[in-house]
Structure 1
Amino acid sequence: LSLVLSAFYSGSETALVSANRLKFEALRRLGSRRGKRVVKLLEEPDRFLTICVVGTNIAVVAWSSLVAIRLEPVLASSAIVLVSTAVMLVFGEILPKTLGRSLADRAAGWIAVGIAASEILLYPMVWFVRVIGRALARAFGGGREGQGMQFLLSRRDLEYLLASSEGTAHVEEEERAFITRVFRLGHQRVRDIMIPRTEIEAVRIDEPLARVIQKFKSTGYSRLLVYGENLDDVRGFVHVLDLLKKPDRWQDVIRPVLAVPESLSSVELLRRMQREKKSMAVVVDEYGGTAGLVTLEDLVEQLFGEIQDEFDREDRLVRRLGPRSFVISGRAEVAFLNETFGLGLPEGDYATLAGLITEKAGRILAPNEELVVGDWRIRVLSSSPKRVEWVRLDPVQKAPLAETVEMTKQRTREGTRSRT
């Protein structure tokens, strides 16, 4: 019995230390009793380690005493020590620890039950050892009392949890979409979501108030960038509500704006905007010029989905004509179109729809020229010598199979007659 107990405590210690904490934390959050028991132990490692140490030592002492009593009449003292030590080392330490490591996840559940029972039986000794241990830890500058293992899940761990919950009811569809958007935001750079320079609405700092007000009316925006000589000289932005206060000079109510590099991650920009209480940031390129503009709404809608605001991306880039017909800006990103509208356009080294068209056509198409890409007929509505600006997408009308076969036969007969 003492050998079995020693094997149990030795193997339990190794199994609990080797157990997949992520797996049992997930089980706990899904309501598993086994997960709850194991996580409770792992959150207090000094608790189960003390129980295992106390239990192992009691078992070892009992084993040594009983073996000595039984074998003393037939073996010398040195032989008794050698035999008892060898048996305990192999069957009470090495084998249980090996099994505990290899069967950690499968055995952790029932091990937790055994450890809980042992805590009740060995409570006085366990309590005494823990008190002494904590006192020594404080005396020598050890960790805080009760400090356990923290479940700090890495990005990869969370992605594993999300993937493993696919097809189950454990993660709601909205929660799954939100977590997915969080991961995507972590990959995105500011350049991926910014309003490009060519689409920024702004006013010069020396414009008269009447013209600024007219700009607000014509754009429908509540905020406009303010610049000096050109857009590379951004002075801040003006909010339409500030103009309602009727300042002596509208330039006196210009608010400061953040300036951030294109390479900054979207997550870091969101944190910075929240920290500094800003709602708009100017994106600058490597030469210090203005590359684009990002609003707080742009970042938030990456997490929570489409938000209908004044700078709404879909309104700027896409206009729906019908269930499957669109007028789209050449600047629209192919990935954005596929994700938002399920167009199934091929993705490649290009990022925008204009890049896709130029890649497939081998040149910049002129207005009214058409191109078939996948299931879509793309007709160019406007273009410049440098890029395709606006296009119309309509689904390719595919003839029914029987009609296609009949048309093929008719062409074959006509070709035969002409040769005759």
Structure 2
Amino acid sequence: MNAVLGLLAVLLLTAATGYFVAQEFAFVTADRIALEQRARSGDRGAARAVRVMERLSFMLSGAQLGITVTALVVGFIAKPALADLIAPPLRALGTPRAMVDGAALTAGFVLATVVQMVLGELFPKNLALARAEPMARALASSTLLYLKLASPLIRLFDASANRLLRAVGIEPVEELHHGATLEELGHIIGESGEELAEGHADLLERALSFSERTAGEVMVPRVDVVTVSADAPLRVLSEIITAHGHTRYPVVGDRIDDVLGVVGLDDLVRLTPEEIDAAPVRAVARPPLLLPSSLPLPDVVDRLQAADVPLGCVVDEYGGFAGLVTWEDVAEELVGEIADENDAGEDLAIRRGEWWTTDAGLRTDEVAHETGIALPEGDYETVAGLLLQRLGRVAEPGDVVTVDLPPTRMGEPPRRAVVEVLTVHRHVPELIRLRAVGLEEAP
């Protein structure tokens, strides 16, 4: 009779252990955002589950207390109870009297361990992982009651553990971080790329990196900007618009760094031919929106919207004119290259055999997106900057630079990129070609 009662106690305590294990894993793995949404729609179980998750560290301490106590009591009761049940069959089988007690205790220990592991640990753990939100809602009421009743004991053990943590310089936290960092989201998107619709992974990756970009990184550089002198007659502006096709141009003074305003086609259409012949550009120029080159893109968007202008003039840390940033430049950081009537319609990178031919003025991340060759990052933004840094001098056609490529996947063999300068403009690489090779192939 005592053995039967002991066995029943073991089963009840094992169920209690399973309860605390399910409690621990359900609240840790449950989607809190989903529970909060259900709570707002009137689900009381979800609301109680959210209350538990707001004190996740305290709940985990309570679960650990329950698991520890029930497991210890199971161990204390299970071995003798199961041994009492196993000993009679062993004697009936003719086991020597001297071996019966030891064999029964050993068999009881093994059986108790199996029961505790399967029913008390693994089954409730796997159930909670597979049905985290339903389990969290189902366990929430009893968990809150248990935490209230056991609160003094939990606080005692929690306070002792927290003192030890503070003694080694670590500040304990009550609620676990349940969000994901930008880097973690990037890894998630990268790993889920094949499961997302075509183009969605790229769009998400661009959206994540959007806030890290600055005006200086996305602008049209000054050397590629067509400007108009403030003292030039408006007919010159008309000729420039006809020649280049853009609708707006920065107005500069005696020096190109002296940006006085912005003028465009809409300023001309309101004037008579006589006024166009007589008036200087400065007469119709509008004040420029000046943007620091270090300004993050979200702030660029805010400034463009607040000023209600289509472009901003980017200035560097010395106050010099660095380039232009337009709504198109901003949009391309999210959706990729946008072709308009002024674009040639050519691909950013063209593949010929193993080589990719592309513009050296592209950023390294743009080259990686177009070619799959992730050039190393450094104190430069473009491929031209990388080449000039590695060469240590002005570039010439035929210059070849070999750079080590950072690994993109675990276990990937080391690779290098061979970059060759094809053409040069103003001593800066203009057109280049590149390819990725193994270490044994690199020149």
TM-score (norm 1): 0.57
User: 2:400 aligned with 1:358, yes or no?
Assistant: no
CA distance in 1: counterparts of 2:61 and 2:213, whole angstroms: 50
CA distance in 2: counterparts of 1:278 and 1:192, whole angstroms: 20
* Equivalent position SS for 1:282: strand
1:108 is displaced (CA, Å) by: 4.5
Counterparts of 1:268-347 in structure 2, within 5 Å, are: 268-309=299-340, 320=350, 328-347=358-377
Question: Is 372-381 or 281-290 further displaced after alignment?
Answer: 372-381
Kept after mapping to 1: 8 A contact 2:367/2:373: yes
User: 2:420 aligned with 1:378, yes or no?
Assistant: yes
Kept after mapping to 2: 8 A contact 1:193/1:294: yes
Kept after mapping to 2: 8 A contact 1:41/1:112: no
* Equivalent position SS for 1:281: strand
Change over 3 Å in CA distance of 1:339–1:99 after alignment to 2: farther
1:114 is displaced (CA, Å) by: 6.3
CA distance in 2: counterparts of 1:51 and 1:188, whole angstroms: 39
* Equivalent position SS for 2:396: coil
AA in 2 matched with 1:333: R
Kept after mapping to 2: 8 A contact 1:366/1:383: no
Kept after mapping to 1: 8 A contact 2:350/2:356: yes
Paired position in structure 1 for 2:293:
262
AA in 1 matched with 2:365: A
Change over 3 Å in CA distance of 1:99–1:252 after alignment to 2: farther
* Equivalent position SS for 2:313: strand
TM-score (norm 2): 0.54
From 120, 123, 137, the counterpart of 1:112: 137
CA RMSD in angstroms comes to: 5.0
User: 2:420 aligned with 1:390, yes or no?
Assistant: no
From 178, 192, 197, the counterpart of 1:172: 197
Sequence identity of aligned pairs in percent?
Answer: 24
User: 2:262 aligned with 1:237, yes or no?
Assistant: yes
CA distance in 1: counterparts of 2:375 and 2:383, whole angstroms: 9
AA in 2 matched with 1:296: W
Kept after mapping to 2: 8 A contact 1:330/1:354: yes
AA in 2 matched with 1:381: T
1:314 is displaced (CA, Å) by: 9.1
Kept after mapping to 2: 8 A contact 1:327/1:390: no
AA in 1 matched with 2:384: A
* Equivalent position SS for 1:283: strand
Paired position in structure 2 for 1:209:
234
1:215 is displaced (CA, Å) by: 0.9
Paired position in structure 1 for 2:89:
none
**Cα-to-partner distance string for 1:361-417 (whole Å, 9 max, x where unaligned):** 4433434x3425356462443355xx434244266999xx9xxxxxxxxxxxxxxxx
1:282 is displaced (CA, Å) by: 0.9
AA in 2 matched with 1:231: I
Kept after mapping to 2: 8 A contact 1:327/1:391: yes
1:195 is displaced (CA, Å) by: 1.5
Paired position in structure 2 for 1:224:
249
Counterparts of 1:32-181 in structure 2, within 5 Å, are: 39-41=37-39, 98=65, 106=129, 108-113=133-138, 156=181, 159-160=184-185, 163=188, 166-167=191-192, 171-181=196-206
Question: Is 243-252 or 39-48 further displaced after alignment?
Answer: 39-48
Question: Is 317-326 or 217-226 further displaced after alignment?
Answer: 317-326
1:11 is displaced (CA, Å) by: 7.5
**Cα-to-partner distance string for 1:302-353 (whole Å, 9 max, x where unaligned):** 01111114776997x9675967766655433333222223345454444333
AA in 2 matched with 1:220: G
* Equivalent position SS for 2:430: strand
1:207 is displaced (CA, Å) by: 0.9
Q: Where does structure 1 lack aligned partners over 5 or more consecutive residues? A: 29-35, 54-92, 118-151, 402-420
1:360 is displaced (CA, Å) by: 3.9
AA in 1 matched with 2:314: V
* Equivalent position SS for 2:211: helix
Q: How many residues align?
A: 307
Kept after mapping to 2: 8 A contact 1:16/1:108: no
User: 2:230 aligned with 1:200, yes or no?
Assistant: no
Kept after mapping to 2: 8 A contact 1:326/1:393: yes
Change over 3 Å in CA distance of 1:153–1:228 after alignment to 2: farther
**Cα-to-partner distance string for 1:20-79 (whole Å, 9 max, x where unaligned):** 56x354xx5xxxxxxx6x7513776987667999xxxxxxxxxxxxxxxxxxxxxxxxxx
